Chains A and B, each alone.
Chain A
Amino acid sequence: MQLSSLRAIGISKSFGAVAVLDRVDLAVHPGETYALLGPSGCGKSTLLRVMAGFETADEGRVELAGRVVRRPSPERGMVAQAGTLFPWLSLRDNLAFGPRESGRGDTEEIVAGLLEATGLTEFADALPRQLSGGMRQRAAIAQVLANAPPVLLLDEPFGALDAQTRLRMHEWLRSVLAARETTTLLVTHDVDEALLLADRLGLLSARPARLVEEIPVPFGGARGRHTLSDPAFVRMKAQILDRVMVA
């Protein structure tokens, strides 16, 4: 698969009189995981929804590998906090949804591979409501990955999970992303999450959101629970928290 860059160029968006995004410029490099941090209500979800094609920007444009994109598409998979599995489909059918829409012949192999990668093979026939919160979010990400999207958009995908489950999900997602050539834009207000998963961070101001600062994350490939106690990690987390609080 071709690695693709994802760019937001001068995106502005208001809901009525409320300006939410103020000329946001953002470039996620091919294959990179980029985390956007910002205070609650600053417009993170709105930005991601514009990039996914669910909302149209008042100004500006979104480019994938240099092409302007507007409509929702399987090449930009998005997972939100609330989870996006279809409650009436079994886990297996949820994972098969995308590949079936595109009429692929190898749907079964794709689904089997994803069930294995999520550790959910034995739950293939369960309904979403029969899964735990962590399983559901993993499955929602797998549902999107079934289309092998060049771009993955994640909107606080683990925000509703307890701290331990969230940490397990971080470790899991890192391993999954490492194995794929996906350009990932992750939105979060959890500094740990950003530092554990991302190659770069972007800090957003309070509403209307502007990109205030970009920070490279210096930690290497193998990050996990042990990283949390790394002195360099602790120091960086404190610095970033400081800036998020002022921003």
Chain B
Amino acid sequence: MPVLTDLAALANAERADLPPARVLSRGRRRWRRALGVVVPLLLLGGWALASGLVWISPGLLPAPWTVAEAGRDFFFGERRTTLAGVVAFDGAGWGHVGASIFRCLVSFSLAVVVGISVGLALGLSRWVADFFDPVLNALRAVPLYAWLPISLVWFGIGEGAARALIFIGALWPVLIATADSVARVPRAHIETARMLGTPRQRLWRRVYVPSALPEIVTGLRLSLTLAWMCVIVGELTGTSTGVGAMMNAARETGRIEEIVVGMFVFAVVGYGADLVLRMLTRRWVRWADT
């Protein structure tokens, strides 16, 4: 095609007009990230000091080294056979963590599928939203603990109730994020797609979902965090595996250091899971980074 304008001159003139790239050098970014370690180290130091000087009774909070030993036993200790129904501790760490993660992921996955589907239906159709918004908002207002008795009745003590509770806890953030963000997709994007030839029934795939994805991912992260938090609630219903089951057993026998080990495991796994999810979804949300 004959182009009369001097495109090279055009490009040159425009180069000065490019929006500035947000530059934070690699070294500097690493340094900033290292700052995040400072506060945990200070807290750990304070804890060690307080325990060493016996400012806090070991009956309330055991010393860090006691907890560290319990942690070592939990993950690397020698496995002992326990009676059926008794929750194992020594050497049972990986098994418990695995059981908790598995439970969490099963329910989280189901919550994501249901949440995104229902959220899409609500966000795409004013009609569906008018029908179901009140019911969903009312259900959402039922606290997780209020679901506990009925879950036990419906699903029995143990695995079923645990999974149901985790599912309910994880459902709302992703559902609401999807419905809200899909409903707020700019009209101009829809019009452009229609004008470029996208048929109505394909709009959700070509415009609604990609445009809403950053907010959906934020909902996913919140859902995963909540799912992980609900694991403990689920496991208090009487599972014999899982970190929550271990903590419950430790409470009954008064082994506080084991409870603290459980709390650390929850913190570390939860934090790690969020990092992994962020990594997996980064390329979908890069365009909306501010």
Point out residues on A near B: beta carbons under 8 Å: 52-54, 71-74, 76-78, 80, 82, 84, 86-89, 97-98, 101-102, 113, 117-119, 127, 129-135, 143-144, 147, 164-165, 168, 171-172, 174-176, 178-180, 222
Contacts and interface: CB of A to CB of B under 8 A. Distances in A.
B287 A113 contact: no
Interface string B3-30: 1110110110110011101000000000
Given A74-B196, A80-B188, A143-B196, 10 more contacts: A82-B188, A86-B210, A97-B193, A119-B10, A119-B11, A127-B286, A168-B10, A175-B5, A179-B2, A222-B4
Contacts of B286: 127
B204 to A, nearest CB: 14
B195 A87 contact: no
B14 A135 contact: yes
A89 B198 CA distance: 15
Interface residue SS majority, chain B:
helix
Contact of A117 (B3, B17, B18, B194): B3
A164 B210 CA distance: 35
A88 B194 contact: no
A219 to B, nearest CB: 15
Contacts of A77: 195-196
Contact of A72 (B2, B19, B195): B195
A172 B192 contact: no
Given A130-B18, A178-B4, A179-B2, A88 B197 contact: no
Contacts of A74: 195-197
Interface of B: 1-5, 7-8, 10-11, 13-14, 17-19, 21, 188-189, 191-199, 202, 206-207, 210-211, 213, 286-288
A88 B193 CA distance: 13
B15 to A, nearest CB: 8
Nearest to A102: B197
Contacts of A147: 196-197
6 contacts: A77-B196, A118-B7, A119-B8, A129-B287, A147-B197, A172-B10
A137 to B, nearest CB: 11
A165 B3 CA distance: 18
Given A72-B191, A172-B5, A172-B10, A165 B17 contact: yes
A175 B189 CA distance: 28
A155 B10 CA distance: 23
Name the 7 nearest CB pairs between A and B, nearest first.
Answer: A119-B7, A175-B4, A132-B17, A101-B197, A98-B196, A74-B197, A72-B194
A130 B21 contact: yes
Contact of B207 (A86, A134, A172): A86
